[in-house]
Amino acid sequence: MKFVELATYLEKLEKTSSRIEITKILAELFRKTDAFEIDKTVYLLLGSLAPNYEGVVFNVAEKMIIKAIALTYGYDGKAVNGLYKKAGDLGIVTETLAKKSHFTAHNSPLSITDVYQKLMDVARDSGEESVERKIQKISELFKNLDPRSTRFVARIPLGRLRLGFSDKTVIDALSWMEAGDKSLRSQLLKAYEVVPDIGFLAKRVKEVGAAIASKNIKPVVGIPVLPALAQRLNSPVEMIEKMGKVAVEPKFDGLRVLIHFSRSKKMLKAFTRNLNDVSEMFPELTNIGDYIKGYEVILDTEATGMDPEMIKIMNFQTTMKRRRIHDVNETAGQIPLRFQVFDILFKDGQSLMGTAYLQRRKVLSGTVKENDLMVVDEAVITEDPKVIERQYQKNIDKGLEGVVVKKVDSPYIPGRTGYRWVKMKDAEGSKAKLMDTIDCVVMGYMSGKGKRTQFGLGKILVGIMQGEKVRTLTKVGTGFTERILGEMKKRLDKISLNKKPDNYIVDKNLEPDVWTYPKLVVEIAADEITKSPNHSLGISLRFPKFIRFRDDKNPDQATTLKELKKLFEIQRV
């Protein structure tokens, strides 16, 4: 398919807000797309080139796109920047100038695969003078595209091709493509959760159909599995009523890490819950083979920072310093780690995801040798609510977050579905009355008054995702140290916008001074959840307080409205 035809669909999608209509448009596009290019088409539709875990990034800044536009159409960089300030979108600027220019191909011969490969070449270019080469390559691509296509291609390297849908909508569209409805969604989603590569799934569906594409899917060492997540309950009695016999495990304040190890392939990978490859963060795992009985394993763990004497467990922010400091080996000496191993998903060619919790624990105990680096979590089996309460208090007294309670006969199910795993967690800070913290998406910030004018940031506006929409929850102005204020400002300026995103639902009286893309997730504590006529969720937080950045979570992994309402119910009990 020619890219010019894809651009027509991109424009349709951009103008459509209805989820069902978006699904139908995608299904129509997928029917026309050949099997050899549907994976590339899907990646481009999502503004990417590969699944998240492959770590393919453009490393292209706005200034580079502005220079590429100027180079292509013979304009001064300042003039292009002026147009950008007025339009608020470099895609629109590129298209506008392309229409006026004889350099742009109005009947572009480039296919979807051609454009994909040229963008991949831009992303892979690195080293000395790579910035100049990237600008030149983007400029050459603009020259060979029709004006409408340049609008979308200009946005992709900046991560700003936001069409109002995600991987889940693509799954719906693949079902609609084959069945004319969403009846195949469930089986396709299960396959995606085990191998979360939406391009690969689309290609398989196109080649062999949904039934075969989603049959007998098992984990692959080196490709992250979407992790199982815990629901929230704060009543041990209710836990036993809903779950029956359970295992009670400690809840650590660490970084969720799925470890993939293959002895024969000499492979070691570590993935966060948002599927990022963070293998280089953990030099300790170099000798993991000494601690494993088996050839290939996928382990679910919590990486917890320790004090240098390996006695006291450090908090999440201390653990996460490894991601922000370049010299990881030096940091490893300052912040040694322990991996609290609590589940096993795969061993020596066999998927264990469908087996019951107790059986997986038995396999896990026979897989991890006793050592100080990788410690299999304690698990207390019970049907007594009082035992859950005792274990909870025991862990709180030890400085841990609480407990995770797991149904003993449950398979490993990715995502947060049913009452298979639930967490009973103390809120951060003894003054916080709400019995859990909330992960929110930052939508923008206020410039600040008084002493905070020097930082250029006083409060942040945070919200919760509801489908593809982001609705406001609260403004947060407490819990920030001077260092955090500086870091927050620096992070938000990298994702700032000239205007409010179309998917933000915000009351005019709550609008921030600076809007930001919904990329940064932060953890918030509060006294309670209250009803609110001003915030677009209809609820807000009383005395909200910033706790920490959640770099291990994507916006779609933050607290959901359903979870928020559940917390609202819990606090009133």
Q: What is the DSSP string of 512-559?
A: -SEEE-TT-EEEEE-SEEEE-SSSTTSEEEES-EEEEE-TT--GGGS-
60/412 Cα distance (integer angstroms) = 39
Instruction: Based on the fold, state whether residues 277 and 394 are members of the same structural domain.
Output: yes
Residue 287 lies in a domain: yes
Residue 315 reports pLDDT greater than 80 = no
Instruction: Based on the fold, state whether residues 402 and 469 are members of the same structural domain.
Output: no
**pLDDT band with cut points at 50, 70 and 90 for residue 500:** confident
First to last CA, the chain: 58
- Which secondary structure element, helix H or strand E, spans residue 421, and what is its range? strand 421-425
Q: What is the pLDDT of residues 9-32, one digit of tens each?
A: 999 999 988 889 999 999 999 999
Lowest mean pLDDT among 102-116, 227-241, 252-266, 515-529: 102-116
- Cα-Cα-Cα-Cα dihedral sign, residues 58, 64, 68, 69: positive
Q: What pLDDT is attached to residue 543?
A: 87
Q: What pLDDT is attached to residue 435?
A: 59
Residue 204 reports pLDDT greater than 50 = yes
Is 251 a known active-site residue?
A: yes
Q: What is the pLDDT of residues 434-468, one digit of tens each?
A: 557 899 999 999 987 777 777 789 899 999 998 88
Burial profile 89-111: b = 16 or more Cβ within 10 angstroms, e = fewer:
bbbbbbbbbbeebeebbeebebb
Q: What pLDDT is attached to residue 432?
A: 39
User: Which member of 251, 347, 423, 475 is catalytic?
Assistant: 251
**pLDDT band with cut points at 50, 70 and 90 for residue 430:** very low
482/113 Cα distance (integer angstroms) = 48
- Half-sphere CA count of 540, side-chain side, radius 13 A: 16
Helix (H, G, I), strand (E, B) or coil at 80: helix
Residue 45 reports pLDDT greater than 70 = yes
Residue 330 reports pLDDT greater than 70 = no
Instruction: Based on the fold, state whether residues 371 and 414 are members of the same structural domain.
Output: yes
- Could you tell me if residue 423 is left (phi over 0), alpha (psi between -120 and 50 degrees) or otherwise beta? beta
Q: What pLDDT is attached to residue 25?
A: 97
- CB within 8 Å of 22: residues ≥ 6 apart: 13, 16, 163, 164, 165, 169, 173
Residue 369 reports pLDDT greater than 50 = yes
Q: What pLDDT is attached to residue 162?
A: 77
**pLDDT band with cut points at 50, 70 and 90 for residue 326:** very low
Q: In the chain, helix, strand, coil percent, each to 5?
A: 45, 20, 35
Q: What pLDDT is attached to residue 404?
A: 95
Q: What pLDDT is attached to residue 322?
A: 55
Residue 564 reports pLDDT greater than 70 = yes
Residue 8 lies in a domain: no
Domain count along the chain: 3
Cross-strand bridge partners of residue 545:
525
Instruction: Answer for the pair 373, 338: CB distance below 8 angstroms, yes or no.
Output: yes
Instruction: Answer for the pair 350, 221: CB distance below 8 angstroms, yes or no.
Output: no
Residue 483 reports pLDDT greater than 50 = yes
Domain that holds residue 516: 438-571
Q: Who has greater pLDDT, 557 or 120?
A: 120
61/529 Cα distance (integer angstroms) = 39
If you ran DSSP here, which 8-state letter would residue 227 be given? Answer: P
Instruction: Answer for the pair 143, 181: CB distance below 8 angstroms, yes or no.
Output: no
The CATH number of whichever domain residue 92 belongs to comes to 1.10.3260.10
Instruction: Based on the fold, state whether residues 413 and 289 are members of the same structural domain.
Output: yes
Average pLDDT over residues 504-509: 91
Instruction: Based on the fold, state whether residues 248 and 382 are members of the same structural domain.
Output: yes
**pLDDT band with cut points at 50, 70 and 90 for residue 429:** very low
Q: What's the count of helices (H) and strands (E) in the chain, helices before strands?
A: 20, 21
Residue 101 lies in a domain: yes
Domain termination residue (choose one: 425, 448, 470) = 425
Domain termination residue (choose one: 425, 448, 483) = 425
Residue 20 lies in a domain: no
Identify which of 565, 563, 554 has the alpha carbon closest to the alpha carbon of residue 168: 554
Q: Who has greater pLDDT, 262 or 553?
A: 262
Instruction: Based on the fold, state whether residues 314 and 450 are members of the same structural domain.
Output: no
Residue 225 lies in a domain: no
Task: Please give the model's pTM, rounded to 2 decimal places.
Answer: 0.82
Instruction: Based on the fold, state whether residues 346 and 443 are members of the same structural domain.
Output: no
The first and second tokens of residue 471, run together, are 């609705």
**pLDDT band with cut points at 50, 70 and 90 for residue 380:** very high
Say what percent of the chain tops pLDDT 70.
91
Instruction: Based on the fold, state whether residues 506 and 368 are members of the same structural domain.
Output: no
Instruction: Based on the fold, state whether residues 238 and 382 are members of the same structural domain.
Output: yes
Instruction: Based on the fold, state whether residues 319 and 261 are members of the same structural domain.
Output: yes
The CATH number of whichever domain residue 463 belongs to comes to 2.40.50.140
Identify which of 523, 427, 546, 532 has the alpha carbon closest to the alpha carbon of residue 471: 532
Strand pairing report for 528-531 and 539-542: antiparallel
Residue 553 lies in a domain: yes
Q: Who has greater pLDDT, 568 or 257?
A: 257
Domain termination residue (choose one: 377, 393, 425) = 425
Helix (H, G, I), strand (E, B) or coil at 350: strand
Q: What pLDDT is attached to residue 403?
A: 94
Instruction: Based on the fold, state whether residues 240 and 323 are members of the same structural domain.
Output: yes
Residue 555 reports pLDDT greater than 60 = yes
145/140 Cα distance (integer angstroms) = 9
Residue 276 lies in a domain: yes
Backbone φ, ψ for residue 83 (5° rounding):
-65, -35
Q: What pLDDT is attached to residue 565?
A: 84
**pLDDT band with cut points at 50, 70 and 90 for residue 428:** very low
Instruction: Based on the fold, state whether residues 355 and 238 are members of the same structural domain.
Output: yes
Q: What pLDDT is attached to residue 345?
A: 98
Residue 257 lies in a domain: yes
The CATH number of whichever domain residue 376 belongs to comes to 3.30.470.30
